[in-house]
Amino acid sequence: MDIPLLQEVIFGLVIGSYIALGAIGFTLVYGLVNMINFAHGEFITIGAFVGYLTIVVAGLPLPVGIVATLAITAVVGWAIARVTFEPMNDAGAVPLLLMSIGLGFVLRNGMRVVAGPDRRSVRLDVTTYRFDDWGFFITSQQLLIIGLALVAVVALHVFLSRTMLGIAMRATSDNEDLALVSGIDTRRIRNTVWLAASALAGVAGLMLAISQAANPTVGYGQLLLLITAAILGGAGSPYGAIVGSYLLGIGITVSVAVLPSNLTELNATMAFVVLIVVLLIRPGGIVDTEVRAS
Amino acid sequence: MSAATDRLADLPIDATQAGLGLLGLALVFLASPLFFQPPPGAFVLLEVGVLFVLYAMILVGLNLQFGHTGLVNFGPVAFFAVGGYTAAILTADQPYQAVGLGLPWPIGVAGAVLAAAALGVLLGISTLRLRGDFLAIVTLAVAEIVHGLIISFRDVTGGSTGLFNVPQPVADATGAGGGADIVSTLLVFGALALVFYGLFRRLSAAPYGRVLRAIRADEQVTETLGKRVFRYKLVVFVYGAAIAGLAGALLVLYNGSASATFFTIDVTVIVWVGMLIGGAGNDRGVIGGLAIIMGFQLVTRFMNDAVPYVTQDQFASIRLMLIGLLLMAIVRYRPQGLWGDADRLGVDS
Amino acid sequence: MCCERISRNDGVSTDRRAVLRATGVAAAGAVGLAGCLGTEGGDGSGEVGDSVLVGQPASLTGTWDYLQPAASAATDLAVQQINDAGGALDVTFEVERQDTAVETQQAREVVSQFVNNDDVVAINGLFSSELEPLWDFLQEQEVPIITPWPGSTYLDTRGGDKGTDDVSDDEWLWRTVIGDTVHTAGAAQAMIEEAGIERMGILSATSAGEEGWTRQFTNWYEQLGGEIVEVISAQGGQASYQSQLNQLFESDFDAWALSFGLEDAITIIQNWQDGGYGRQLLMEDGLRDGALIDEVGAEAEGAWIAAGSSEGPNYDQFLEGFQEVSDEELHPWGVAAYDATNVIALAVHHAGGVSPEDVQRSIGAVSRPGGTTVTTFGEGKEALDAGEEINYEGAVTNVDFTDHGNVWGDVVVERITPGGFETEFTVEADQLQSQIDEY
Query: In terms of residues, how long is chain A?
Result: 294
CB C396 within 8 A of CB C312: yes
What is the rounded distance in angstroms from the CA atom of residue B56 to the CA atom of residue B193? Answer: 7
**CA-CA-CA-CA dihedral for B162, B167, B171, B176, to nearest 10:** 100
Please answer yes or no on whether A280 and B269 come within 8 Å at the CB atom: no
The predicted structure's pLDDT at residue A29: 94
Tens of pLDDT, residues C201-227: 999 999 999 999 999 999 999 999 999
Tell me how crowded residue C64 is: count the other CB atoms within 10 A of its CB.
22
Least confident of B10-24, B47-61, C173-187: B10-24
With CA atoms as reference, the chain C residue closest to A125 would be C274
C78 and C144 fall within a common domain: yes
The predicted structure's pLDDT at residue C9: 41
Encode B312-322: b = buried (16+ Cβ within 10 Å), e = exposed: bbbbbbbbbbb
The answer to whether residue C191 is domain-embedded is yes
| Residue A7, CA distances (Å) to A1, A135, A271 in order | 13, 7, 19
C282 and C329 fall within a common domain: no
Tens of pLDDT, residues B204-232: 889 999 999 999 988 889 989 988 899 99
The answer to whether residue C112 is domain-embedded is yes
pLDDT above 60: residue B91: yes
Q: Considering its fold, how many domains does chain C have in total?
A: 2
Q: Do strands C411-417 and C304-308 pair parallel, antiparallel, or not at all (unpaired)?
A: antiparallel
Tens of pLDDT, residues C87-99: 999 999 999 999 9
The predicted structure's pLDDT at residue B77: 97
The predicted structure's pLDDT at residue C346: 95
**Which helix (DSSP H) or strand (DSSP E) does residue C238 occupy?**
none
Count Cα atoms within 13 angstroms, Cβ side, for B240: 31
C188 and C268 fall within a common domain: yes
The predicted structure's pLDDT at residue A92: 86
Count Cα atoms within 13 angstroms, Cβ side, for B170: 27
Please answer yes or no on whether B292 and C37 come within 8 Å at the CB atom: no
The predicted structure's pLDDT at residue A279: 87
Which of C61, C235, C240 has the CB atom closest to A14's CB atom? C240
C421 and C275 fall within a common domain: yes
Picking from A19, A33, A36, A119 by the largest number of C CB atoms within 10 A of its own CB, the best residue to mutate is: A119
The answer to whether residue C370 is domain-embedded is yes
- The pLDDT-based confidence of C4 (bands split at 50, 70, 90) is very low
What is the rounded distance in angstroms from the CA atom of residue A256 to the CA atom of residue A11? Answer: 11
CB B108 within 8 A of CB B173: no
Least confident of A80-94, B331-345, C356-370: B331-345
Percent of chain B clearing pLDDT 90 (strictly above): 63
B128 compared with C97, residue with greater pLDDT:
C97
Tens of pLDDT, residues B293-335: 999 999 999 988 777 888 888 999 999 999 999 999 999 999 9
The predicted structure's pLDDT at residue A179: 86
Which of C1, C9, C208 has the CB atom closest to B348's CB atom? C9
The predicted structure's pLDDT at residue B25: 86
Average pLDDT over residues C376-402: 91
The predicted structure's pLDDT at residue B90: 96
Mean pLDDT of chain A: 90
The predicted structure's pLDDT at residue C41: 36
The answer to whether residue C81 is domain-embedded is yes
pLDDT above 60: residue A144: yes
User: How many beta-carbon pairs below 8 A join chains A and B?
Assistant: 131
| Helix/strand/coil for B1 | coil
The answer to whether residue A191 is domain-embedded is yes
pLDDT above 80: residue C40: no
Percent of chain C clearing pLDDT 90 (strictly above): 70
User: Which CATH number covers residue A71?
Assistant: 1.10.3470
Residue C86 phi, psi dihedral angles, 5° rounding: 105, -10
- The pLDDT-based confidence of C311 (bands split at 50, 70, 90) is confident
B260 alpha carbon, distance to own chain's centre: 17
CB A249 within 8 A of CB C299: no
- The pLDDT-based confidence of B345 (bands split at 50, 70, 90) is confident
Domain of A268?
7-281
- The pLDDT-based confidence of B87 (bands split at 50, 70, 90) is very high
The predicted structure's pLDDT at residue B9: 63
With CA atoms as reference, the chain A residue closest to B279 would be A95
The answer to whether residue C30 is domain-embedded is no
C161 and C88 fall within a common domain: yes
Mean pLDDT of chain B: 90
Average pLDDT over residues A272-282: 89
B345 compared with C129, residue with greater pLDDT:
C129
The predicted structure's pLDDT at residue B179: 81
C168 touches chain B (CB under 8 A): no
**C-alpha dihedral sign at C390, C393, C394, C395:** negative
What is the rounded distance in angstroms from the CA atom of residue A118 to the CA atom of residue C69? Answer: 8
Which of A105, A224, A266 has the CB atom closest to B324's CB atom? A105
The predicted structure's pLDDT at residue B285: 93
Picking from A124, A264, A272 by the largest number of C CB atoms within 10 A of its own CB, the best residue to mutate is: A264
Please answer yes or no on whether B152 and A266 come within 8 Å at the CB atom: yes
Least confident of B90-99, B167-176, B241-250, B321-330: B167-176
The predicted structure's pLDDT at residue B131: 74
Tell me how crowded residue C182 is: count the other CB atoms within 10 A of its CB.
27
Percent of chain A clearing pLDDT 70 (strictly above): 97
- The pLDDT-based confidence of C406 (bands split at 50, 70, 90) is very high
- The pLDDT-based confidence of C20 (bands split at 50, 70, 90) is low
With CA atoms as reference, the chain C residue closest to A131 would be C275
Instruction: State the distance between the two ends of chain C, measured CA to CA, in whole angstroms.
Output: 57
Instruction: State the distance between the two ends of chain B, measured CA to CA, in whole angstroms.
Output: 18
What is the rounded distance in angstroms from the CA atom of residue B100 to the CA atom of residue C75? Answer: 39
The answer to whether residue C244 is domain-embedded is yes
Please answer yes or no on whether B324 and A99 come within 8 Å at the CB atom: no
The predicted structure's pLDDT at residue C3: 45
**Which helix (DSSP H) or strand (DSSP E) does residue A231 occupy?**
helix A220-233
C36 touches chain B (CB under 8 A): yes
Please answer yes or no on whether A119 and C263 come within 8 Å at the CB atom: yes
The predicted structure's pLDDT at residue B265: 93
Which of B148, B323, B327 has the CB atom closest to A98's CB atom? B327
The predicted structure's pLDDT at residue C19: 52
| Residue C154, CA distances (Å) to A6, A256, B14, B94, C187 in order | 43, 31, 49, 13, 19
Percent of chain B clearing pLDDT 70 (strictly above): 96
C213 and C279 fall within a common domain: yes
Please answer yes or no on whether A222 and C239 come within 8 Å at the CB atom: yes
pLDDT above 80: residue B13: no
The closest alpha carbon to C345, from C384, C299, C298, belongs to: C384
What is the rounded distance in angstroms from the CA atom of residue B183 to the CA atom of residue B189? Answer: 10
Please answer yes or no on whether B261 and C103 come within 8 Å at the CB atom: yes
The predicted structure's pLDDT at residue C167: 84
CB C213 within 8 A of CB C431: no
The answer to whether residue A290 is domain-embedded is no
What is the rounded distance in angstroms from the CA atom of residue A129 to the CA atom of residue C312? Answer: 46
B312 compared with C272, residue with greater pLDDT:
C272
pLDDT above 80: residue A294: no
Percent helix, strand, coil in chain A (nearest 5)? 75, 5, 20
> What's the complex ipTM?
0.93
Q: Do strands C420-427 and C411-417 pair parallel, antiparallel, or not at all (unpaired)?
A: antiparallel
Query: How far A162 CA lies from chain C's nearest CA (Å)?
Result: 31
Average pLDDT over residues C96-118: 94
C415 and C381 fall within a common domain: no
Average pLDDT over residues B118-144: 89
Burial tier of C279 (Cβ tally within 10 Å: 0-12, 13-18, 19+):
middle
B41 compared with B141, residue with greater pLDDT:
B141
The predicted structure's pLDDT at residue C11: 45
CB B184 within 8 A of CB B174: yes
The answer to whether residue A289 is domain-embedded is no
C55 and C166 fall within a common domain: yes
The answer to whether residue C160 is domain-embedded is yes
C188 and C243 fall within a common domain: yes
Domain of C174?
51-179+312-392
Q: Considering its fold, how many domains does chain A have in total?
A: 1
C285 and C415 fall within a common domain: yes
B258 compared with B18, residue with greater pLDDT:
B258
- The pLDDT-based confidence of C246 (bands split at 50, 70, 90) is very high
The answer to whether residue C140 is domain-embedded is yes
Please answer yes or no on whether B2 and C129 come within 8 Å at the CB atom: no
The answer to whether residue A121 is domain-embedded is yes
C206 and C58 fall within a common domain: no
- The pLDDT-based confidence of C247 (bands split at 50, 70, 90) is very high
The answer to whether residue A47 is domain-embedded is yes
Please answer yes or no on whether B304 and C98 come within 8 Å at the CB atom: yes
Tens of pLDDT, residues C275-286: 999 899 999 999
Least confident of A100-109, A166-175, C408-417: A166-175
| Residue A29, CA distances (Å) to A178, A189, A194, A195 in order | 19, 11, 7, 10
User: Which CATH number covers residue C226?
Assistant: 3.40.50.2300
Mean pLDDT of chain C: 87
| Helix/strand/coil for C80 | helix
